[in-house]
Structure formats: structure tokens, C-alpha cells
Amino acid sequence: MRTKPGWTLALTAAAALTLPASTTPAQDEAPAPSLDVVTFVDGREVRGRIIKETAEAIWLDLGFDVLKAPRTSVDAIVRADAEAEPEAAPSQSLYRVAAGSLPERSAREQAQRWGEAVALVSTPSGTGSGFVIHPDGYTITNAHVIQGETRVKCTLFERDGEGMRRVVIDDVEIIAVNNHLDLALVRLSRKDGRPFSTVYLAGSDELAAGQEVFAIGAPLGLERTLSSGVIATTLRDFQGVTYIQTTTQINPGNSGGPLFNLKGEVIGVTNMKIPFGEGLGFAIPARYVRDFLRNREAFAFDKNNPNSGHTYHDAPPRESFGVAPILHDEAER
């Protein structure tokens, strides 16, 4: 990637963008698309579309070239309107995907953007995580998070002015459970009927070892925890299911939470780690989630089914031993 020529190009572009209107011929032009505005520490501005971001640098598409700028040279970034991002509305499959390519951004910025859709899932026996996929409150989590339970509540954090407000949803209905894939679908409801914030589900499976990813969840009940890492492999097999292996820290309580790429798409559902092993976390790929949602009627939850979320106690132990009198031959004489 060229550094010095790229900077020369950036300054030329900035100068062209700040020319007075009188120096250009008057003409009717189509409205310019919404662009990101990057202000550098020396006061110069560049407009373009940010296509990738890391902690060290940003990449800005200027239309005729791509500028790589170190973070230390950037003073401020004004994002293009979120409405400009192409998006597919939720379908009958309940999830939504981006209709076009989304720009990559840092994990910190993506977490700020999508954190409202990540939930703390609580039951009488423990806690886990989940994420909202539909404005009507449909939420994905792990089957083992709600296994054996029928009383579930979810906690969300929604923006309230400049801060965050904790919202506890007690009205949670279990919709479908697939124990083999360790996936569950629940529905959150609130009295005022306001829609919920949602996330994108990745529409393709373009994953690669070394790709940067991050998770948001509630490990050990610590809400709104962000951890980041890379994909170690996309082909880790356990009991006939292929998992994403990641160096992202996954701990008890992360189960059911989203694993994001840097575009802000959910590429997997975190569900387990190797005990006493650091950097050995696993996530269920999004393709299994899409299939589960499309065929959710096959996994519909029925509270009257003894295999559902009701727990049965073991029979009490015997208080006396030997042959029960009613079974002894002498008892019939």
C-alpha cells in the first residue's frame, strides 16, 4: 500500500473539495451520495467511504484511489448516515442481512452500534447471552442456556440521552429449541409495543483463518463485555457439527451471544470453550442459525412435552431393603 503518494493524493482531493463554488461551472448535478468525513490533526478534511478500520489505521475509498491513514493522524471522523447503508428488511425467516457490502470498522465502534441488541439471558439456574434478530423481539441464544427452564427473562441496555438504561424484559416466550445444534429462539415482549434494536445476520459464509472478530456478552454475569480475537479455523468438528474456532475469549455467560466480524454482521453464536484452555473458544456458524430459523416449526417448543423445559425429580430412595412384602410368595398365603 502506497503511503507517501497516497498522502499527496489525499491533500489534492481535500483542496479540490474546498474550492469556492464560483470556480466551477454552474450545472445541475445529481445529489452526492452520503460520505464519511475524516478530519486530520493538521485541519485538513477528506471525504470518502471508509471501507476498513483497525486500531492502527483506516482505509478511505476516494473513488479513484484508496487512502490508508494512520490513526495517530486522524482528529475526528463524521460518519455517513446509517440510513445510507443497504439493508434487507426482516423476512418470514425472522432475520435480516445487509443487501450490500458494509464497511469494516473497529470493534469498539461496532460494539457501540450493535450493543443495544445484545441481551443478558437469565433463568433460575444461571445466566447466558443472546441477541435480537427481529424488531418484534425474536432473539437467538443457546439451547443449554434455557435447558430445563420455563421462566426466562432478558436484560437489554438501551440508549437514554448520553447514557445507557437497563431494561429488564420479564415476558419471554420460548419459541423453538434445537438441542443438537444448541440453538434456541425466544421472543421478548414489552407492554408499549416499541420495536427492539436488531443485528444483521451474515448472509454468506466467507470466513477465513486470521480474520478479526469480536464477541459481546455477559461472561460470569458481567454485562456488556467485549472481547476480540481472530478466527483460528472455520472447520472444527464436534459430534457432526462444524464450529468456528476463535481466539476470542469465551467464558461461562458468553454462551448464546453473538460473534461479529468487523462489518458488524453476526457470523456465529458463541457456545463453548475448552476448560482450562486460553484462546480456545467456539461458535456455531451463522449458516446453522439461518437453517434453524427457516425450519423453526420443526423444533417448536411445547411446554406439555415431557422432553421440554420441565424438570422431574428423581424418585425418593428406599427406606428398607430386601424383598418387598407384597412381592414375597409368603404374602399371598
pLDDT digits (tens, 9 = 90+) for 95-114: 888 877 788 888 888 988 89
Residue 188 lies in a domain: yes
Q: How far is CA 133 from the centre of its chain?
A: 9
198-240 per-position pLDDT tens digit: 999 998 888 999 999 999 988 877 788 899 999 999 989 888 8
Residue 193 lies in a domain: yes
Q: Which residues contact 46 (CB under 8 A, 6 or more apart)?
A: 10, 13, 14, 17, 37, 38, 40, 60, 62, 67
Cross-sheet strand order for the sheet of 172-178: 163-169, 153-160, 118-123, 126-132, 138-141, 183-188, 172-178
Q: Are residues 231 and 255 in the same domain?
A: yes
Q: Are residues 206 and 196 in the same domain?
A: no
Q: How confident is the model at residue 278 (pLDDT cuts 50, 70, 90)?
A: confident
Q: How confident is the model at residue 311 (pLDDT cuts 50, 70, 90)?
A: low
Query: Does residue 310 register a pLDDT over 80?
Result: no
Query: Does residue 257 register a pLDDT over 90?
Result: yes
Q: Give the domain CATH number at 131.
A: 2.40.10.10
> Is 180 labeled as catalytic in the residue annotation?
no
Query: Does residue 83 register a pLDDT over 60?
Result: no
Point out the catalytic residue in the list 134, 144, 227, 228. 144
Q: Across 57-71, 85-99, 137-151, which has the greatest mean pLDDT?
A: 137-151
> Is 255 labeled as catalytic in the residue annotation?
yes
Among residues 200, 215, 243, which one ends one of the domains? 200
Q: Which stretches within the chain are classed as H helix?
A: 4-17, 107-114, 143-146, 286-294
Q: How many domains does the chain have?
A: 3
Q: Are residues 150 and 165 in the same domain?
A: yes
Query: Does residue 76 register a pLDDT over 70?
Result: yes
Residue 101 lies in a domain: no
Q: How confident is the model at residue 271 (pLDDT cuts 50, 70, 90)?
A: very high
Q: Are residues 207 and 290 in the same domain?
A: yes
Q: Are residues 232 and 277 in the same domain?
A: yes
Q: Give the domain CATH number at 73.
A: 2.30.30.100
Write down the pLDDT at residue 210: 93
Query: Does residue 295 register a pLDDT over 70?
Result: yes
CA atoms of 252 and 189, how far apart (whole Å): 26
Residue 92 lies in a domain: no
CA atoms of 92 and 101, how far apart (whole Å): 22
Among residues 200, 221, 256, which one ends one of the domains? 200
pLDDT (mean) for 113-130? 92
Q: Are residues 227 and 280 in the same domain?
A: yes
Residue 222 lies in a domain: yes
Higher-pLDDT residue of 139, 149:
139
Whole-number percent of the chain with pLDDT over 90: 39
Residue 317 lies in a domain: no
Q: Are residues 210 and 287 in the same domain?
A: yes
pTM: 0.69
Q: Are residues 124 and 72 in the same domain?
A: no
Range of the domain at 117: 107-200
Q: Are residues 187 and 225 in the same domain?
A: no
Point out the catalytic residue in the list 36, 129, 182, 228. 182
Element (H, E) at 226: strand 225-238
> Is 182 labeled as catalytic in the residue annotation?
yes
Write down the pLDDT at residue 142: 96
Query: Does residue 178 register a pLDDT over 90?
Result: yes
Residue 207 lies in a domain: yes
Q: Count CB-CB contacts under 10 A for residue 287.
A: 16
Query: Does residue 153 register a pLDDT over 70?
Result: yes
pLDDT (mean) for 317-332? 64
Among residues 278, 294, 310, which one ends one of the domains? 294
Q: Are residues 111 and 196 in the same domain?
A: yes
CA distances from 60 to 3, 63, 102, 193 (A): 13, 9, 13, 40
Residue 208 lies in a domain: yes
**Buried-exposed string 110-147: b where 16+ CB fall within 10 A, e elsewhere:** bbeebbbbbbbbbbeebbbbbbbbbeebbbbbbbbbbb
Point out the catalytic residue in the list 122, 129, 227, 255. 255
Whole-number percent of the chain with pLDDT over 70: 79
